[in-house]
Amino acid sequence: MSSAIPENEVNEVSQKVKEYAEISKIIKMTQEKLKVLNKKKKELYKEVLPKLETTNITKCNLAFGTIKVVQSKRKIMPNRVTIKEKYLSFFNNRFLDEDFILASPEQKAQILYDYIYVDNIEFKNQTSMTLTYSKDFKNSLKNL
Q: What one-letter code names the amino acid at 84?
A: K
Q: What is the pLDDT of residues 74-109, one digit of tens each?
A: 999 899 889 999 999 998 887 778 888 899 999 999
Query: What is the distance between the alpha carbons of residues 134 and 104, in angstroms, rounded to a whole number?
Result: 57
pLDDT at position 143: 85
Q: What is the pLDDT of residues 120-143, one digit of tens each?
A: 889 999 999 999 999 999 999 888
pLDDT at position 44: 97
pLDDT over threshold 70, residue 3: no
Please, what sign has the CA dihedral across residues 79, 80, 85, 89? positive
Domain residues of the chain, as ranges?
Answer: 1-57, 58-77+121-144, 80-117
The answer to which of 7-11, 56-60, 66-70 has the lowest mean pLDDT is 7-11
- pTM as predicted: 0.63
Q: Can you say how many angstroms the Cα of residue 111 is from the centroid of all Cα atoms in its chain?
A: 33
Phi, psi of 122 (to 5 degrees): -100, 150
| H-assigned helices in the chain | 7-54, 80-93, 98-102, 105-114, 135-142
